[in-house]
Amino acid sequence: MPYAGGAAPEPGRIGYNVCRRKREGRMNKQKVEASPVHNGELALKRVAIDTYRENVAYLHRDCHVYRAEGFQALSKIQIRHGEHRILAVLNVVDDEAIVDPGELGLSEQAFAQFGAEAGARVSAAHAEPPRSMEAVRRKMNGEILGEADFTAIARDINDHLYSKTELAAFLVASGQTGLDRDEILYLTRAMFETGERLNWEEPLVADKHCIGGIPGNRTSMLVVPIIAAHGMLIPKTSSRAITSPSGTADTMEVLANVELSPEALYHLGHQHRGCLAWGGTAHLAPVDDILISVERPLGLDSQGLMVASILSKKLAAGSTHLLIDIPVGPTAKVRHMRQALALRKLFEFVGDHLGIHLEVVITDGRQPVGRGIGPVLEVRDVLQVLENDPDAPADLRQKSLHLAGRILEFDPDVRGGFGYAIARDILESGRALEKLQAIIAAQGAREADLEPGPLNFEIKAREDGIVTAIDNYRLGRIARLAGAPMGKGAGVDLLVKVGDRVRAGEPLYRVHAEVKADFEFARQLCERDSGYSLGDHPPPAQIEPFN
Smallest CA-to-CA distance from 371 within 389, 356, 353, 355 is with 389
Any catalytic annotation for residue 425? no
Give rounded-to-5 percent helix, strand, coil for the chain: 40, 20, 40
Where does residue 323 rank: exposed (0-12), middle (13-18), buried (19+ CB within 10 A)?
A: buried
Backbone angles phi, psi at 149, to 5 degrees: -65, -50
Whole-number Å distance between alpha carbons of 155 and 177: 22
Check: CB of residue 499 under 8 Å from CB of residue 539: yes
Backbone angles phi, psi at 176, to 5 degrees: -80, -45
Q: Give CA separation, 249 vs 237, 241, 468, in Å.
A: 8, 8, 32
Q: What is the 3-state secondary structure (H, E, C) of 239-304?
A: CCCCCCCCCHHHHHCCCECCCCCHHHHHHHHHHHCEEEEEHHHHCECHHHHHHHHHHHHHCCCCHH
Strand partners, 495: none
Cβ-proximal residues to 524 (8 Å cutoff; 6+ apart), any chain: none
Whole-number Å distance between alpha carbons of 403 and 334: 19
Neighbours of 147 (CB within 10 A): 14
Neighbours of 196 (CB within 10 A): 14
Q: Specify the DSSP class assigned to residue 132.
A: T
Whole-number Å distance between alpha carbons of 202 and 277: 20
Check: CB of residue 60 under 8 Å from CB of residue 96: yes
For 478-492, letters b (16+ CB in 10 Å) and e give: bbbbbbbbebbbbbb
Backbone angles phi, psi at 251, to 5 degrees: -75, -45
- Compute the half-sphere exposure of residue 243: CA atoms within 13 Å on the CB side of its CA: 20
Neighbours of 387 (CB within 10 A): 12
For 288-314, letters b (16+ CB in 10 Å) and e give: bbbbbbbbeeeebbbbbbbbbbbbbbb
Check: CB of residue 76 under 8 Å from CB of residue 87: yes
For 514-529, letters b (16+ CB in 10 Å) and e give: beeebbebbbebbeee
- Active-site residue among 62, 182, 301, 411? 301
Q: Which residues are catalytic?
A: 301
